[in-house]
């Protein structure tokens, strides 16, 4: 087999060969190359020990970083191309379900490939001899578009449960199916994923959520039970009927359906995934027989905060997702004043994402409501565009007077009252932007103070 590799990769292999060392291109690089995709990064496997690799490339004047010497990995930079060079190895000691605490260096590529997760990732290519080493028939699986565990699936997943989520991630990135035996091994061992550190889970989850075939990945996560291990709260909505004409689906099915209509934006996808998480806890049945979920947006935003903290998301992502969930009920028939209040609460930056969340939610409602909701949505966004043109962020700081003005010119005593007055003024201005002028606001501030004083 002849594969075209960048000169820098070939160069690294030639340098190692010159030092009587074997080297193979392995992992995602070779997989993506065979698939005709542009590899993101390059991994090499060699029989040279990490310290030798370091010495060989340093001697040649290349920049070498001992990225993970303990695990046998050294990063070499050649003409701006970064190569991860790892000594043939096998992991030992998986007892804590984390990264192997020990690795054992081995002398041949077959042993190295035997510890890899999936057959399509267990291909090695020697570019100097144009030889493909494929003991687990990864090439056939690439052709069949199949993710299959190397050797015994159950053993692979017990060694490192994160591989179960990686199976879904590769399936979502490549659009491949997961082999039946591999699937069954995931279903049987799915609970082990809870032993994996939140950061590692989150990294793979994010890749599923952002993958080209993310919906396939999401469905696989649900089918295999991974979704409920990561988000046990979502299980509450499973088979939860809504008894409402707006909804033809159960809570969880509605959520998954809504995900179909999300753009590739992590914040939006997390918000849609969790937007109805609190519905089961907020359920009540009205006298008319309809199901109601009062307050599920507020409780949902609180639950989402806890869930996302547990998964170690950044404060920024958490804050945005929480806001989007709190506001996801967005009343589409609101007028301009309501829209200004909305922008003041949410912030202009997050508005496009809120609209995406709302639209995804609408799309997964009952078919019978769709035409009407879509019309309302279109009219709402057109009006909102007009509203947004008329101002900045509609934030309190844009008020034509500030705290000092209120104290010095309207005679308000410094203290919490200043804030109360400012917010009342701001509320008036959101209702009618014409009122945002100093003279009016100062006289109004005096009136507010008098009223407040009269009421003790
Ligand atoms: P990408 O770079 O697109 O994420 P990749 O296949 O290179 O895809 P990496 O996570 O970079 O994935 O890992 C490189 C290779 O190392 C994999 O192809 C696989 O052979 C092996 N590997 C990585 N993580 C594991 C794991 N947890 N268990 C077994 N093998 C693994
Ligand atoms: Mg890689």
Supply the pLDDT for residue 241: 87
Query: Residue 7 is encoded by which pair of tokens?
Result: 């000169």
Is the pLDDT assigned to residue 456 strictly greater than 80? Answer: no
Place 364 in a pLDDT band, splitting at 50, 70 and 90. very high
pLDDT for residue 366 is more than 70: yes
User: Taking phi first (over 0 means left), then psi (-120 to 50 degrees means alpha), and beta for anything else, what does residue 393 get?
Assistant: alpha
Atom number, ligand 1, closest to the C-alpha of residue 173: 3
pLDDT > 70: percent of the chain? 98
Confidence tier at 97 by pLDDT (50, 70, 90): low
pLDDT higher than threshold 70 for residue 389: yes
pLDDT-above-90 percentage for the chain? 84
Q: By C-alpha distance, which of 400, 404, 406, 402 is closest to 434?
A: 400
Nearest-CA residue for atom 22 of ligand 1: 116
Q: Inform me whether the pLDDT recorded for 126 exceeds 60.
A: yes
DSSP result, 314-357: -HHHHHHHHHHHHTTT--TT--HHHHHHHHHHH-GGGHHHHHHH
Higher pLDDT, 367 or 383: 383
Q: Give the closest residue to 165 by CA, choosing from 212, 116, 217.
A: 217
> Per DSSP, what are the bridge partners of residue 165?
none
Decide if pLDDT at 94 tops 60: no
Q: What is the CA radius of gyration of the chain?
A: 29
**Closest listed ligand to the CA of 207:** 1
Specify the residue with its C-alpha closest to ligand 1, atom 7.
28
Per-residue pLDDT tens for 160-211? 999 999 999 999 999 999 999 999 999 999 999 999 999 999 999 999 999 9
Residue with CA closest to ligand 1 atom 3: 28
- pLDDT at residue 246 in the model: 82
- At residue 197, the pLDDT reads 96
Answer yes or no: are the C-beta atoms of 400 and 438 closer than 8 Å. Answer: yes
Quote the CA–CA distance of 193 and 162 in Å, as a whole number: 6
Query: If you measure from the C-alpha of residue 7 to the centroid of ligand 2, how many angstroms do you get, rounded to a whole number?
Result: 19
Give residues (CB < 6 A) around ligand 1: 27-28, 40-41, 43, 116-117, 121-122, 160, 162-163
Contacts of 146 (CB under 8 A, 6+ apart): 119, 120, 176, 177, 178, 179
For the purposes of burial, counting CB atoms within 10 Å of the CB of 210, is it exposed (0-12), middle (13-18) or buried (19 or more)? middle
Q: What is the pLDDT of residues 141-169, one digit of tens each?
A: 999 999 999 999 999 999 999 999 999 99
Residue 253 has pLDDT above 80, yes or no: yes
Place of tokens 């989007």: 324
Return the higher-pLDDT residue of 343 and 92.
343
Position 259 confidence tier, pLDDT thresholds 50, 70, 90: very high
Give dist(CA 227, CA 323) in Å, integer.
Answer: 23
- pLDDT of 98 > 80? The answer is no
Tokens 């290349």 label which residue? Answer: 62
Read off the tokens for 229.
Answer: 């291990």
Average pLDDT, the chain: 94
pLDDT band per the 50, 70, 90 thresholds, residue 70: confident
């Amino acid at each position: 087999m002849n594969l075209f590799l960048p000169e820098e990769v070939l160069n690294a292999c030639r340098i190692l060969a010159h030092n009587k060392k074997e080297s193979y291109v392995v992992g995602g690089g070779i997989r993506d190359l065979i698939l005709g995709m542009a590899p993101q990064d390059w991994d090499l496997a060699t029989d040279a020990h990490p310290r030798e690799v370091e010495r060989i490339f340093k001697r040649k004047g290349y920049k070498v970083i001992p990225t993970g010497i303990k695990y046998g990995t050294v990063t070499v930079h050649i003409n701006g191309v970064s190569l991860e060079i790892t000594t043939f190895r096998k992991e030992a000691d998986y007892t804590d379900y984390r990264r192997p605490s020990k690795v054992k260096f081995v002398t041949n590529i077959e042993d190295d490939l035997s510890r890899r997760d999936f057959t399509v990732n267990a291909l090695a290519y020697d570019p100097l001899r144009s030889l493909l080493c494929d003991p687990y028939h990864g090439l056939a699986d690439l052709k069949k578009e199949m993710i299959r565990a190397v050797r015994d699936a159950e053993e692979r997943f017990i060694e490192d449960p994160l591989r179960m989520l990686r199976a879904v991630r590769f399936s979502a990135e490549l659009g491949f199916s997961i082999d039946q035996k591999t699937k069954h091994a995931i279903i049987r061992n799915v609970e082990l994923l809870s032993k994996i550190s939140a950061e590692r889970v989150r990294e793979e989850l994010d890749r599923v959520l952002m993958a080209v075939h993310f919906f396939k990945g999401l469905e696989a996560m649900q089918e295999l039970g991974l979704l409920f291990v990561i988000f046990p709260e979502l299980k509450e909505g499973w088979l939860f009927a809504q008894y409402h004409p707006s909804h033809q689906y159960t809570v969880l099915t509605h959520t998954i359906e809504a995900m179909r209509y999300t753009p590739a934006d992590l914040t939006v996808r997390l918000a849609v995934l969790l937007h109805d998480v609190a519905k089961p806890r907020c359920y009540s049945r009205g006298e008319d027989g309809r199901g109601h979920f009062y307050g599920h947006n507020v409780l949902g935003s609180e639950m989402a905060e806890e869930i996302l903290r547990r998964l170690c998301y950044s404060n920024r992502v958490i804050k945005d997702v929480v806001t989007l969930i709190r506001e996801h009920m967005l009343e589409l028939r609101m007028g301009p004043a309501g829209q200004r209040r909305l922008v003041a609460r949410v912030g202009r930056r997050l508005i496009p994402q809120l609209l995406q969340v709302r639209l995804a939610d609408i799309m997964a409602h009952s078919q019978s409501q769709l035409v009407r909701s879509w019309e309302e949505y279109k009219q709402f966004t057109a009006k909102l565009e007009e509203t947004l043109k008329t101002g900045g962020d509609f934030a309190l700081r844009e008020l034509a007077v500030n705290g000092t003005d209120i104290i010095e010119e309207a005679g308000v005593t410094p203290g919490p009252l200043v804030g109360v007055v400012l917010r009342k003024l701001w509320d008036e201005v959101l209702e009618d932007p014409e009122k945002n002028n100093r003279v009016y606001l100062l006289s109004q501030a005096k009136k507010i103070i008098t009223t407040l004083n009269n009421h003790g």
